[in-house]
Amino acid sequence: MRKILLVCSAGMSTSMLVKKILSAAEKEHYEIQVEARSISEARGIGSLWDVILLGPQVKFQLKEIKNAFPDKPVEAIDMKSYGRMDGEAIVKQVRFLLKD
């Protein structure tokens, strides 16, 4: 099972995306755990996750989070996928980052 941390400014808007990602992963029989957290929480728990994805609203902190977790894939979700709540595109991004 892969663990995906979604990060936004308060952990609220990204939580809506969690259901879409879980649904898309289920269709692919890809076992995941997904949680949405705030950027401040991510700094404390990032090491517990396989991949960290930042929402567009916190993309400006990408370099800082990458530096904090150099052994983890850390990327931003593109604005289009985020805006459309495109769970399938995000699962594809995760699988690419983790080479699954």
State the DSSP H helix or E strand holding residue 43, giving kind and residue range, or none if neither.
helix 39-45
Fold assignment, 2-98: Rossmann fold (3.40.50)
pLDDT value at residue 9: 82
Sign of CA dihedral 63, 66, 67, 68: positive
pLDDT value at residue 11: 59
pLDDT value at residue 15: 73
pTM of the entire predicted model: 0.92
Mean pLDDT computed over 68-89: 95
Percent of the chain, pLDDT > 70?
A: 97
Annotated domain spans of the chain: 2-98
Contacts of 83 (CB under 8 A, 6+ apart): none
Active site residues: 8
Residue-wise pLDDT tens digits, 5-38: 999 887 566 777 999 999 999 999 999 999 999 9
pLDDT value at residue 50: 98
Q: Are 51 and 72 in contact (CB under 8 A)?
A: yes
